[in-house]
Structure 1
Amino acid sequence: MAHAAHHGPFAYAEHLLNIDGRPHPVENRFAIATLLVGAVAALFAFWSDMHLISSWAGLVGVGLGARAQMISVTTAQRFVTVIGLGAAGIGLYLGFAHGGPFGGVFG
């Protein structure tokens, strides 16, 4: 079949990110992963006791977002990636402000 049905947890989100009509599964998954990891980092940044999760998730989110920006094809992918990068940056900075990624091991 030329156009087999694609089912999965993010099938609808990937469909929305393909605004040029062609599938870009790798680029879409990088953008979605950046958004999800950035959301985790920003969410855990609200509690100062969760600085380990917040700072590590922020670091991973910034790395994923940088890669997603480099390989993105559509404007929708870039939009989602920038939102995820912003959330990851907030989580990263607040995680560092509350104790950093190593949890006071060096201090």
Structure 2
Amino acid sequence: MAQAARPQHGLFSFLDTDGKSHPVENTLAVTTLAIGVIAFVTAAFTGLHLLSSWAGLVGMVTGLWGQLISATTGERFLLIIGLGASAVGFYLGMAHGGLFGGLLG
């Protein structure tokens, strides 16, 4: 149990439950969560449909890639929350005007 007594350092150390460092996976998880929050919040405003739909699309892509390479349960937990928020933001943004609404016509 020597690894249990060893303190973990770093910004995302709470996600490294296996004792190894996963900087790429942790960054993808936190980024997906942040983008998902942006997409979800901006989906409430119909005038921000461009930001909501694009942020949702980017959040879904980063979240799916993060799920593909994730290593720990903590990473997957954040990824699923971020994916859900991104999807809601994307779909509501599409309903309010879409990715290019108002720009092409």
Structure 1 residues 1-107: aligned runs within 5 Å: 6=10, 11=11, 14-106=12-104
SS in 2 for 1:97: helix
Give the deviation of 1:104 after TM superposition. 2.9
Give the deviation of 1:105 after TM superposition. 3.7
Distance 2:52 2:33 in 1: 14
Structure 2: unaligned runs, 5 residues or longer: 1-8
Two-structure CA RMSD over aligned residues (Å) = 1.4
Number of residue pairs matched by the alignment = 98
Normalising by structure 1, we get a TM-score of: 0.87
Normalising by structure 2, we get a TM-score of: 0.88
Aligned identity (percent) is 51
Kindly provide the CA deviation profile for residues 22-74 of structure 1, in whole angstroms up to 9, marking residues without a partner as x: 11000000000000000000010000000000000000000000100000000
Residue type at the aligned position of 1:74: T
Structure 1 stretches of at least 4 aligned residues deviating more than 4 Å after TM superposition: none
Give the deviation of 1:106 after TM superposition. 4.6
